């Protein structure tokens, strides 16, 4: 196959702005790469203080659940920044799951209850994801729990 250096150089010049634009758009849509959005961080701090839950834990759950996208909707029906199921939202008195403030406060209240009930963050995170305590084996082998705790420890050191 014969290469045409001029054609390749022209193609590179055309693609460079497109690649840069795509990378910038991706960073905006996936802020876990670019950092935690200020609005989410501020609301997490407030909810953490109100419900006695570590802010880093709330941010880690938000990152794993929705990549900080308050408009996220999962295939299972979970919605919003903290991916709250409709029945859970009703139980937590969260009227608008797409509101960062309501979603974060509802999740903080939910996690706080699980921490009080089970005594460990690991088990509380598992219960947040599944809605129940689970067996020690399930908790220890949950990919979701590992992902949240990994991000939690990273965010605690910020």
Whole-number Å distance between alpha carbons of 95 and 106: 10
Helix pair angle (121-130, 55-66), 10° resolution: 30
> Degrees (nearest 5) of the Cα angle 58, 63, 68?
100
Active-site hit among 37, 64, 65, 126: 65
Whole-number Å distance between alpha carbons of 114 and 131: 10
Angstrom distances, CA of residue 44 to CA of 11, 61, 101: 45, 11, 8
Q: Backbone phi, then psi, for 68, in 5-degree steps?
A: 65, 25
Our answer to whether residue 102 is catalytic in this structure is no
DSSP state of 84: B
Catalytically active residues, by annotation: 65
């Amino acid at each position: 196959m014969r290469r045409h250096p001029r054609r390749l150089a022209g193609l590179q010049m055309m693609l460079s702005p497109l690649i840069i634009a795509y990378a910038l758009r991706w960073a905006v849509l996936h802020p876990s790469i670019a950092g935690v959005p200020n609005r989410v961080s501020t609301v997490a701090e407030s909810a953490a203080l109100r419900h006695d839950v570590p802010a880093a834990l709330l941010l880690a759950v938000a990152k794993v659940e929705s990549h900080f996208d308050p408009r996220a909707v999962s295939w299972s029906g979970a919605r919003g920044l903290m991916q709250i199921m409709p029945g859970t939202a009703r139980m937590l008195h969260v009227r608008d799951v797409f509101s960062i403030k309501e979603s974060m406060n509802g999740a903080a209240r939910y996690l706080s209850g699980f921490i009080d009930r089970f005594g460990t963050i690991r088990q509380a995170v598992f219960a947040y994801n599944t809605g129940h305590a689970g067996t020690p084996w399930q908790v220890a082998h949950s990919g979701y729990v590992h992902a949240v705790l990994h991000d939690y420890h990273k965010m605690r050191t910020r």
